Amino acid sequence: MIYHKIPPVFDENSTVLILGSFPSVKSRDAQFYYNHPQNRFWKVLSAVFSCECPVTIPQKKAFLIENRVAVWDVIASCEIHGSSDSSIRNAVPNDIIPVIENSKIRRIFTNGATSYALYNRFLKNATRTDAVKLPSTSPANAAYSLERLIEEWKQITDNSALIK
Structural contact between residues 131 and 110, judged by C-beta atoms closer than 8 angstroms: yes
Q: What is the pTM of this model?
A: 0.93
Burial of residue 60 (number of CB atoms within 10 Å: 0-12, 13-18, 19+): buried
Query: Does residue 164 sit within a domain?
Result: no
Range(s) of the domain holding residue 100: 2-156
Burial of residue 118 (number of CB atoms within 10 Å: 0-12, 13-18, 19+): buried
Query: Does residue 64 sit within a domain?
Result: yes
Amino acid 159: pLDDT: 60
Query: Does residue 23 sit within a domain?
Result: yes
Q: 41-48 and 57-66 helices cross at what angle (nearest 10)?
A: 40
Per residue of the chain (164 residues), give pLDDT as tens.
999 899 999 999 999 999 999 988 889 899 999 998 889 999 999 999 999 999 999 999 999 999 999 999 999 999 988 877 778 899 999 999 999 999 999 999 999 999 999 999 999 999 999 999 999 999 888 899 999 999 999 999 986 444 44
Query: Does residue 52 sit within a domain?
Result: yes
Query: Does residue 161 sit within a domain?
Result: no
Catalytic residue, chosen from 39, 120, 125, 159, is: 39
d(CA 36, CA 39): 5
Residue 111: active-site member: no
d(CA 33, CA 98): 19
| CATH assignment of the domain containing 96 | 3.40.470.10
Buried b (16+ CB within 10 A) or exposed e, 11-39: eeebbbbbbbbbbbeebbeeebbbbbeeb
Query: Does residue 106 sit within a domain?
Result: yes
Looking at the 3D structure of the chain, how many domains does it have?
A: 1
d(CA 125, CA 24): 26
Structural contact between residues 51 and 63, judged by C-beta atoms closer than 8 angstroms: yes
